[in-house]
Chains A and B, each alone.
Chain A
Amino acid sequence: MTATTADTTAKPGLSLAELTLKRRNRNFGFASLVMAAIMGAVFLSSSRGDTATFVLNDARGQLFNLPDLSLPVVPTVAVLTLAVLVIAYRQFTVGFGSKSVVMVGVVAGLFVLAFLTWAAAGGQLSVVGLLRGTIARSTPIALGALAGVLCERSGVINIAIEGQLLAAAFAAALFSSMAGNAWVGLAGGIGAGLLIAFMLAGLSIKFKADQIVVGVVLIVFATGVTSFLATQILAPIPTLNSPTRFPTIGIPLLSEIPIIGPVLFRQSILVFGMFAAVIFLQYALFQTRWGLRLRSVGEHPKAADTVGIKVLATRYKAVLLGGVFAGIGGAYFTLDAVGSFSREMSGGRGFIALAAMLVGRYSPVGAFGAALIFGFADSLATSLQLLRVPVPSDLLLTAPYVVTLLVVAGLIGRLRVPAADGKPYVKE
């Protein structure tokens, strides 16, 4: 209890902002050096093969075929390592100012390229397969993150995304199996997402319960109910767990573009829906009156109330709309990715969606970008198993979590949270 209050340790002549910037540059520089060291030490010294082959064509065939890209491993990795070293040098000496966060991304990208070159050495890596997998696997994460963005922008913390995904996956499988129609399944999934959203909204808006607690409890609830019903109903009656899935649709012409075509334009309707949802929400939240009202309720509900915006109703609507998106995301598991329900099949992706929302700083496009990173790591783990790379897939799968941890700790620091997030509103 010594009363040494925090006296600011700013050196004379340097403002606090300059100091933090300097420290940040140094940290980024060290991180880049470590990356370069790994690239040089591990990737250059391995003897897995001389050339890395990247297959750029879709396995299904397409109108225009590209030649396979064959790169000599050692020179390619050497060039990439050198580039990282140059960036590290600049970070130590001059710094990149406002672009330093971008440069961290560039360094990470170069590292991944070097890693892929090393991994594909002496083998073939399907670029299209890797990127298609990235989009597919990021779909439920992105949709879940949109649910989070909507809720939290309106001032309700939504930890329960995992529960929404799981409940929706279950309901989608059940309804699609019973009706033999994927659209009915989707409706069921949305219904389940809405149900959890309604419980979240009611408990946190009307009954003013602690929102983080409610979120965690709803996850436990959804896990319990779906696991219970899966054991009691789906297991003895397998016909209830064989849903009709959405087919993969190739958009004419667009899907014939090399690389981009099969990755972006030959997917299931749910993936297209996810693209549309991201764009729609980004526009709606930041360019429309509806979005402004929603955000005002999350930032300063009293002010919003004063000008006649119905705070509680706006929050209810936002949480329920979020439930729709999370429901689509959950339906993706059973109507697209897997094709049957299994216990706890969402496997923590709701938590990843939460992280994507935070890393994306509460914006739909940002959250989508973060979801892509997670999807990429997920997809990469599968690709590497095919290549028989001597990296344990368990360790590789930790990569997105480590990255999130670093991003939340280093890049974001103190996040700008909607001011009224998590606070129940009581009209005076």
Chain B
Amino acid sequence: MSDEQHDGPDRPGEDGPGGAAEDTRPGGIEARAPVLLSEEEVAQQEIDAAKEREAKAHRIGEEATFAQRLVAALTGTSVIVTILAFVSALVIGAFIIALSEAEVREAMGYFTARPGDTFSAAWEAVSAAYLALLQGSLGGRSQISETLISSTPLILTGLAVAVPLRAGLFNIGAEGQLIAGGMIAGLAGFSITGLPLVLHLPLAILAGLAGGALYGFIPGILKARTGAHEVISTIMLNNIARLVSAYLVSTTLFRNPDRSDPVSKNVESSAMFPRFVSDLRVNTSLLMAIVLAIIIFWLVERSTRGFELNAVGLNASAATSAGMDPNRTLVGAMSTGGALAGAAGAALILGVQGRLTIGFSAGLGFDGITVALLGRGRIGGTVAAGLLFGALKAGGRSMQAQTGTSLDLVLVIQALIIVFIAAPGLVRAIFRIKTDELATGQVAKGWGA
């Protein structure tokens, strides 16, 4: 989306940068020229400056439009760095697999005698695990279905973190918002009976969105009214949601009386997302995620509200001077994020699980943080990151089943990817990539904001 306005906004570049600068802005020359310089020198300086600006505009869009500067701010690292981050993470993951394998450690015991054994054992363990990971995520139609199933809540929780991130807010609370949304969507799913699917399912989804939005609204309004930092309040709200949901599942309102363990009643089939094909688990909650992603894309990248969101995120005091209300924006951003996390809860309960259990969120809200960071707060990027991490998750499960390598490896790989993304300087140092400007990867605001 950054391609359309790459040449600088104020000059056409046909005559070459120097000529254009001289022709269109003679006033600038006079104003900036120190007295001692001759006219040629001044012109030369002006040409150099224009050239540099031109180059910069192409590189990081500094002289470009607002949208381009925004994109540049959020994509301080290039696609190359992202790919290298992924590769580096897989390489470190390979070492961890190799070291955790008993056979490899055995072979290392006589490493000096027969070093080849260590390498071949390590290669076998690593290649088997990664092959299972790949096949488990993309190896066939049921595998792809599993990938999409895992991706759906990740895309939504990723967006739940990404939208507030654009306003400079770090929403750690997607986990709690997901729980709130899932609980209410589930309640609407099993307590209402006798409705047709076309009414019941949308109702349950809306309940989930509302529950999440409300739970996201709390830290937003606390921040706006009292300045309570959203990182702390969302961490607290996560714990409260976790404990309260564990309590609620054991109450008569939720609990399934036929079961001895604390599990809720089953969601009515009229509130379950229908499957596309009967033999694959992938269901229409994916469509909901896509529709929501498109709406959010329009809202954040194209609408007036989105403009305010980005403006507040880039510079709240400048936004205030321009007549915007940062408080309203941040409450709106947190509520929107909450609604998206609530949608993830609805997708989980109404799409896959069909009932509420203790700890049903399974850390998906926290995964959303890594997804949003990999997507660097951009809507399209976050959706792509959600798909990637969904594939890793689905593949990881089949890797665990086939080779016995624990699924937790996926968590390590995800964390490493984000480490490399968050510190682009690290990747550049490892791969000796030369750059002019060093992006710091600063996304969220510190405590004081």
Query: Which A positions have Cβ atoms within 8 angstroms of B?
Result: 1-3, 5, 152, 157, 159, 199, 203, 206-214, 216-218, 220-221, 223-225, 227-229, 231-233, 236, 348, 351, 354-355, 358, 392, 394-395, 397-398, 401-402, 404-405, 408-410, 412-415, 417, 419, 421-424
Contact = CB atoms under 8 A, between A and B. Distances in A.
B304 to A, nearest CB: 8
B247 A395 contact: yes
Contacts of A229: 100
Given A358-B229, A394-B244, 4 more contacts: A2-B323, A213-B441, A218-B415, A398-B244
Contact of A217 (B101, B410, B418, B440): B418
Interface string B70-107: 00000000000000000000000000100011100000
Contacts of B240: 398, 401-402, 405
Interface stretch (B42-50, B231-239, B270-278): B231-239
Interface stretch (B22-30, B61-69, B419-427): B419-427
What 6 pairs between A and B have smallest CB-CB spacing?
A422-B446, A224-B411, A221-B415, A209-B423, A224-B412, A207-B423
A408 B323 contact: no
Nearest to A392: B247
B448 A421 contact: yes
Contacts of B257: none
Nearest to A411: B226
B356 to A, nearest CB: 14
Interface string B160-204: 000000000010100000000000000000000000000000000
B357 to A, nearest CB: 14
A395 to B, nearest CB: 5
Contacts of B225: 409
Nearest to A157: B446
Interface string B392-434: 0000000000000110111111111011001111100100000
**Of listed B96, B172, B229, B412, residue having the most chain A CB within 10 A:** B412
Contacts of B425: 206-209
**Of listed B100, B243, B410, B414, residue having the most chain A CB within 10 A:** B243
B331 to A, nearest CB: 14
Contact of B231 (A159, A199, A214, A223): A159
The prevalent SS among residues of B at the interface is: helix
A354 to B, nearest CB: 7
A225 B419 CA distance: 14
Contacts of B414: 220, 224
B16 to A, nearest CB: 35
B442 interface: yes
A358 B232 contact: yes
Contacts of A405: 222, 228, 233, 236-237, 240
B19 interface: no
Contact of A213 (B235, B373, B411, B413): B373
A348 B232 CA distance: 12
Contacts of A402: 236, 240
A5 B323 contact: yes
B247 A203 contact: no
A394 B323 CA distance: 45
Nearest to B246: A394
A423 B446 contact: yes
Given A3-B323, A398-B244, A421-B448, A210 B232 contact: no
Contacts of A398: 239-240, 243-244
Contact of B419 (A217, A412, A421): A217
A214 B423 contact: yes
A423 B423 CA distance: 14
Nearest to A233: B100
Q: How large is the interface on B (under 10, 10 to 19, 20 to 34, 35 or more residues)?
A: 35 or more
Contacts of B369: 216
Contacts of B445: 422
B171 to A, nearest CB: 11
A385 to B, nearest CB: 14
A214 B323 contact: no
Given A224-B411, A228-B412, A395-B244, A208 B440 contact: yes
A351 B246 contact: no
Nearest to A403: B236
Contacts of B411: 220-221, 223-224, 227-228
A224 B415 contact: yes
Interface string B293-313: 000000000001000000000
17 contacts: A207-B426, A208-B440, A209-B422, A212-B446, A221-B411, A224-B408, A224-B415, A227-B408, A232-B101, A236-B102, A348-B235, A354-B235, A404-B232, A408-B233, A409-B222, A414-B227, A422-B447
B444 interface: yes
Nearest to A209: B423
Contacts of A351: 235, 239
Contact of B233 (A203, A409, A422, A424): A409
Given A216-B369, A408-B232, A228 B409 contact: yes
B443 interface: yes
Contacts of B360: none
A401 B236 contact: yes
Contacts of A415: 227, 229, 447
B406 A227 contact: yes
B324 interface: yes
B366 interface: yes
A203 B419 contact: yes
**Of listed B239, B369, B373, residue having the most chain A CB within 10 A:** B239
B415 A355 contact: no
A354 B231 CA distance: 10
